[in-house]
Amino acid sequence: MKKTINSKWVIGLFSMVFPALSGVFVSQASAAPVGIVPYMANCSSCHQPKGQGSSNLAPKLSNRIGKIATFEDGRRYMLSVVFNGMAGRVVVDNMPFLGVMTPLGSLKDEDIAGALNYIMSLQNMPQIKPFTAAEVKAARALPKKSAPQMTIERQKLIAAHGPF
Ligand code: HEC
């Protein structure tokens, strides 16, 4: 277990130092976590390479967001964050964030699924069903949501499943 964590750290650090080369490195490393390439390219600048978040920039995702990926409404929420972006106040680990996430629907279905699966791989919940490109494609066809609608969706999730 310890070994896996260490090797992920190495890949993360490598990607930060040599972003242009990391694609080559990762594709040759058989143990590379699924989706690390689209995550590093599109999400890590804000959520950080290990999903640990950054104060005043973006909330932590690792070891918390997997919980809602076990619920269908939680999965829909995660996908709608990617397609609609998000703005407003969220509280994570008792820390408030007032951030803005730009919508990232211009990414390919498989890259969105990959980035979300990378986040899932950061916590030990093997029961989580991986996101598929088909699931992303179906979410892409849904009506767009405003920032206040996204806030309401998040509050509904917390009411249904507890804080995450
Ligand atoms: C420009 C910075 C930025 C980028 C890039 C970004 N995010 Fe975010 N993300 C945020 C911020 C900020 C929030 C919280 C928004 C708020 O404060 O209302 C957030 C929220 C989220 C949430 C919801 C967290 C919760 O607690 O409800 C998920 C899931 C998420 N992001 C996934 C991703 C994924 C996947 C990617 C890459 C495909 C990504 N983000 C790229 C800034 C970013």
What is the predicted pLDDT for the residue at 125?
A: 85
Say if residues 113 and 130 touch (Cβ distance below 8 Å).
Answer: yes
Mean pLDDT of the 134-152 span: 97
The best mutation among 45, 46, 50, 106 to test binding of ligand 1, ranked by most ligand atoms within 8 Å of the C-beta, falls on 46
| Model confidence pLDDT, tens digit, residues 71-88 | 999 999 999 999 999 999
Mean pLDDT of the 115-133 span: 92
Confidence at 124, pLDDT banded by 50, 70, 90: confident
- The amino acid occupying position 111 is D
Using the predicted structure, report yes or no on whether residue 25 has a pLDDT greater than 70.
Answer: no
- Which long-range contacts (C-beta less than 8 Å, at least 24 apart) are formed by 55-59? 55/95, 56/97, 56/99, 57/99, 58/97, 58/99, 58/101, 59/90, 59/92, 59/95, 59/97, 59/99
Is 69's C-beta closer than 6 angstroms to any atom of ligand 1? no
Query: Model's pTM, two decimal places?
Result: 0.84
Is 116's C-beta closer than 6 angstroms to any atom of ligand 1? yes
Nearest atom, ligand 1, residue 154 CA: 27
Report the topology of domain 33-161: Cytochrome Bc1 Complex; Chain D, domain 2 (1.10.760)
Residue ranges covered by each domain of the chain = 33-161
Report the separation in Å between the CA atom of 133 and the middle of ligand 1, taken as the mean of its atom positions. Answer: 19
